[in-house]
Structure 1
Amino acid sequence: MPLPVEPTAIVQHTPAPAPAPVPTAPVSSPPVVQLTPGALVALVGGGTAVVLVVGTVLVSLLLAVAVTAASVAVCAVVLRSMLNGQHKR
């Protein structure tokens, strides 16, 4: 004998009301920088000076490495000459 089927109640939940939006501060645009001709010339001059100084430092470092390599090579030649001179005696 089949059991009687009772319909289930459908309960609809209403969504909770959305919270009120929090007022945000107006976004201000950053100030526009306007370069005068004098400021532009100063900026170009400063950039040129920085490039020249950095170039000078790098060339000096390269020269120091070259001088060190040459002196090590001279020391190696002198030591080899001294050691070969002892073997001949």
Structure 2
Amino acid sequence: MFRPKLPTMPQPTGTPTRPTVVEATTITPGTPIPPPAPVAPAPVASRPTVQVTPGTALALVGGGTAVVLVVGAVLVSMLLAVAVTAASVAVCAVVLRSLLASETKRR
């Protein structure tokens, strides 16, 4: 059960053939390749590539408004969390001060 089972090697399907030896040939220098012709620069577009249609402008305004609202909600919630934490720390400080003051009066 715990012994691994090794796969058997597949048998070759074709008849084995010896590789053929390719004889080296002599290299004769050819004609030199002429340098490439200079490429003309691409023409500059006469109009801007981005065109804002009324529909895309409305979509951009809507998307921007959504982003501002979401970021504002996150910031307000963080500010509220800080305020609640500060209030709870202040209450703890007042309670501790009261306990310590009453203990010193008893002595």
The letter for the 2-side match of 1:82 is L
Q: Give me the whole-angstrom Cα distance separating, in 2, the residues matched to 1:40 and 1:79.
A: 58
In structure 2, the residue corresponding to 1:55 is in which secondary structure?
Answer: helix
Taking the TM superposition and a 5 Å limit, the aligned residue runs for 1:20-39 are 23-24=38-39, 26-27=41-42, 29=44, 32-39=49-56
Q: How does 1:16-55 map to 2 (within 5 A)?
A: 23-24=38-39, 26-27=41-42, 29=44, 32-55=49-72
Structure having the higher helix fraction is: 1
TM superposition shift of 1:27: 3.9
Alignment length (residue pairs): 69
- Residues 87, 48 of structure 1: CA spacing in aligned structure 2 closer, same or farther, 3 A cutoff? same
**How much does 1:24 deviate?**
5.0
1:58 aligned partner, one-letter code: L
TM-score normalised by length of structure 1: 0.65
Residue 33 of structure 1: how far off its partner (Å) = 1.1
The verdict on how the C-alpha distance between 1:59 and 1:86 changes in structure 2, with shifts beyond 3 A counting, is same
TM-score, normalising length from structure 2? 0.55
Q: What residue ranges of structure 1 are gaps of 5+ in the alignment?
A: 1-21
CA distance 1:88–1:40, shift in 2 (3 Å): same
Q: What is the CA RMSD across the aligned residues, in angstroms?
A: 2.3
Unmatched tracts of structure 2, length 5 or more? 1-36
Question: Percent identity between the aligned chains?
Answer: 74
Q: 1:78 aligns with which of 95, 99, 102?
A: 95
